[in-house]
Chains A and B, each alone.
Chain A
Amino acid sequence: MLLSFAIFLIIYAYVVYYLSRFVVVSRFKKSKIHLVAQLKYYGYFVLTFSYTISFFVFLASLLLHKFNLLIQTSAQLFAAGVLEFIFISLVLMCLVKPKIDVRNYFELNVKFIMLCISSISFLVTILIISSIVFETYKFFSIISIVDFFTGINWSPQDDISDPDIGKKFGIVPLLAGTFLITMIALIVATPIGIFSALFLSEYVGSKTRFVLKPIIEMLSGIPTVVYGYFAALYMGPFIRGMGESWGLNVSSESALAAGVVMGIMIIPYIISLADDMLKSIPTSIRDASFALGATKFETITKIVIPAAKPGLIGAVMLAFSRAIGETMIVTMASGLMANLTVNPLNSVTTVTAQIVSILTGDQEFNSVKTLVAFALAFTLFCLTLVLNLLAHNVMTKYKGQFR
């Protein structure tokens, strides 16, 4: 039924377009008033206006159908739709005259349609935030917000009658685990990433750069599940084996394994961002430095890096926010036990891994245990939002420096 209606609309659009052109031409022949727009615009005008108006009328009849007033069966709905479209287009065809400036009306209508469509995406963006905020609010009406952000015990459960339930939803061990893994990742990735970016922007000719840059961009698009697979199957056992050969007790789901692989993951990201920053420094100030007799080392350390410092910091911050929100590596390679520890050889858990483990089970949708996932996601959202805003502010402020 839906398909046949769509086919009708498409065919009828052609009919309306050519019919209204014909109507306008015949009126012109009768009255000899010249057209004020191209002939096609008369067709577009009738077509878009009739379809827009009929669409809203059709929505109204859909509502009637929904509440079973007047239009009961879907056949009736189909008939109503067809009649509405035909009637409104006929009325408009009677109204259209050669002297109407149809191009402006047509454009107004297109603008209106565009407004309607883009308001859907505005709505979606607002919906995203409001739905999470709403669910988080529901969670905080059960568990107090202070307990949540200061509790050091994480063992979520569904039983609301338990008097100690507030003590079991403490986010601190999760945040500690997240920061531990992220810090390991940054320690691995930042030096390698920044030096590689220096290599790309300062030492390499434009031809090599032309080849390397797309490769790095491609590498930064490798899905994270691939890194997760690598971390779980190779890096975890490898680090465990290394630790055991040195007589250390290493968990097979150690924070170190997840952190190192996450570091490998953000290397291309840091390289590409930092390289953009370094490249945006004008060559003239480098040349000035060389002309004064400075070596490359002195130029880089005393001229380029100080100038690019805010940009580089911004790049690392963006990489940091990306590592915090990273899910697959930690889901696959780190544990689920919430340990409050700074030892990278222990198993820790992160915010994202907990969200996944909470929501993959068959839970009731409105239980406390499901709601806590929204509170975690909200925390994550705020954290990354603040980091991104800061990084963007730092970077945009600095970008105008040399213009």
Chain B
Amino acid sequence: MKKFNLQKRKFLDLLLKTICYVSSIFSMLFLFLFLLVIGIKGFDGLFTTKIRVDLLIPVATASKEQQIIDYNDLIYKSVIKTSKTMINMSELNVVISLEAPYQVYDQLVSHPEYLGHEHSFWISASANVYKYFNTHTNVVLEDNVERLIKGLIKQEYVANFFNWQFFTNSDSSEPEIAGIGGSILGSMMMISICMGFAFPLGLITAIYLEEFVPKSFITKFIEVNINNLAAVPSIVFGLLGITIFIAISNLPRSSALVGGLTLAILVLPIIVSTTRQALSTVPISIKDAALALGASKLQIIFHHSLPIALPTIVTGTILAISRALGETAPLIIIGMAAFITKIPHGIFDPATALPVQIYLWADNPDGMFTEKASLAIVVLLLMLSVINFVAIFVRKKYSVNL
């Protein structure tokens, strides 16, 4: 008679339980660790270092270009005066941002009362000062420049500020003033174009396929086609975008319109399949009851099936939006990865999207941009989680129990 080895059985039971617990903890840990690393890195990007300069600006008469040059001189003199260290004019840009005189100009435009008497301005410091001020390490500077920065810090003329510019500015070659405002706007434009095309098209196609078309060989073919397109790698859609919208239709390259249309083709199969699934779960008894009361086909669909299926359809569509928002590869293919410093004003303007901006910054060899990329990732993930919560909320709140 075979012996019951109870101990062995219990041990195996425990073993499997441990493996399952450990592996699930591992998987969660992996994911959270990696989000944490990015989040911590992104936190650094939230702050920007600024330098205080005291400027006496005469009432301006010269052209804008001349004024900028004058302000640069004034900033140079002020910095030297405060720190009591001499540097060359050409070394000024090691300390302050190239954008600094423009910042002074912008402040004067909005506050003309500063003209004529001395006023202190906070201007963006360069990436070197940012690193030196916040980490005190790994910055190789000339002796006199280092003394100058030390002098400024001693006088408390250097301080960290919350980086509001990051959320309003567009991309730039200077890391201290580069921001995600332009790319968020570009993403929004693309999402609205994408949904404007894909949602009505997908909804109507799904209703037509589900409710009107008799099952035949052709419809079976189209059905398989659409289902498979939902699982095709997204990069393939980028190639489609480049052939149809750029090579054949001659739409402007890297415009929000082309990006939005490409994303529309990408999410169309997803919307069609989720809508069809939602419509197919409507109980047949409801349709029969409506039919018995004399409703026509269209009345059944629009008065009964669609309202019941709508929460599921909306949830699916919101998830499709979140998919489109995070999509990068097709946008890079159709040329959205260009360096665009202007905020787009229309759908034909060159634009960039948030994930593409992350890709560009992550590939940038200048170290300062990786912090920007992390912060942009945090912003993107926050946007996506808000969208996801909305989807879950819609599903929980409005779904009809039948």
* Contact, CB under 8 Å: B233 / A384: yes
* Contact, CB under 8 Å: A221 / B232: no
* Contact, CB under 8 Å: A191 / B205: no
* Contact, CB under 8 Å: B235 / A377: yes
Select which of A114, A128, A298 is within 8 A of B9 by beta carbon: A298
Task: Give every chain A residue within 8 A of B381 (Cβ-Cβ).
Answer: 222, 226
> Which of the segments A68-76, A139-147, A194-202 contacts the partner chain?
A194-202
* Contact, CB under 8 Å: A381 / B236: yes
> Which of the segments B69-77, B303-311, B384-392 contacts the partner chain?
B384-392
> Which of the segments A23-31, A53-61, A102-110, A152-160 contacts the partner chain?
A102-110
Cβ of A359 under 8 Å from chain B: yes
Task: Give every chain A residue within 8 A of B12 (Cβ-Cβ).
Answer: 295, 297-298
Summarize B's interface: helix, strand, loop or mixed: helix
Known: A125-B222, A196-B23, A229-B362. A118 touches B233 (CB 8 A): no
Q: In the complex, what residue of chain B is closest to A188 when comparing beta carbons?
A: B30
Task: Give every chain A residue within 8 A of B165 (Cβ-Cβ).
Answer: none
* Contact, CB under 8 Å: A297 / B240: no
Task: Give every chain A residue within 8 A of B329 (Cβ-Cβ).
Answer: 224, 327-328, 331, 352, 356
Known: A195-B19, A221-B323, A328-B328. A124 touches B268 (CB 8 A): yes
Chain A-chain B contacts (Cβ-Cβ < 8 Å), number = 233
Mark A278-308 against chain B: 1 for CB-CB distance below 8 A, else 0. 0000000000000000011110110000000
Closest Cβ of chain A: how far from B237's Cβ, in Å?
7
Q: Which residues of chain A in 306-358 are interfacial with respect to chain B, using CB atoms and an 8 Å cutoff?
A: 318, 321-322, 324-328, 331-332, 352, 355-356
Cβ of A62 under 8 Å from chain B: no
Task: Give every chain A residue within 8 A of B189 (Cβ-Cβ).
Answer: none
Q: In the complex, what residue of chain A is closest to B14 when comparing beta carbons?
A: A297
Q: Which residues of chain B in 277-308 are interfacial with respect to chain A, using CB atoms and an 8 Å cutoff?
A: 296-298
Cβ of B212 under 8 Å from chain A: yes
Known: A121-B268, A267-B27. A223 touches B355 (CB 8 A): yes
Cβ of A46 under 8 Å from chain B: no
Select which of A199, A226, A318 is within 8 A of B377 by beta carbon: A226
Task: Give every chain A residue within 8 A of B370 (Cβ-Cβ).
Answer: 233
Select which of A107, A191, A221, A264 is within 8 A of B322 by beta carbon: A221
Cβ of A219 under 8 Å from chain B: yes
Task: Give every chain B residue within 8 A of A103 (Cβ-Cβ).
Answer: 296
Give the B interface residue count (CB, 8 A).
Answer: 84
Task: Give every chain A residue within 8 A of B388 (Cβ-Cβ).
Answer: 214, 217-218, 221
Cβ of B173 under 8 Å from chain A: no
Give the complex CA separation of A384 and B228 in angstroms. 9
Known: A218-B388, A230-B34, A296-B13. A195 touches B322 (CB 8 A): no
A contacts, CB < 8 Å to B? 103-104, 107, 110-111, 114-115, 117-118, 120-122, 124-129, 131-132, 135, 191-193, 195-196, 198-200, 202-203, 214, 217-219, 221-230, 232-234, 264, 267-268, 271, 295-298, 300-301, 318, 321-322, 324-328, 331-332, 352, 355-356, 359-360, 365, 373-374, 377, 380-381, 384-385, 388-389, 392
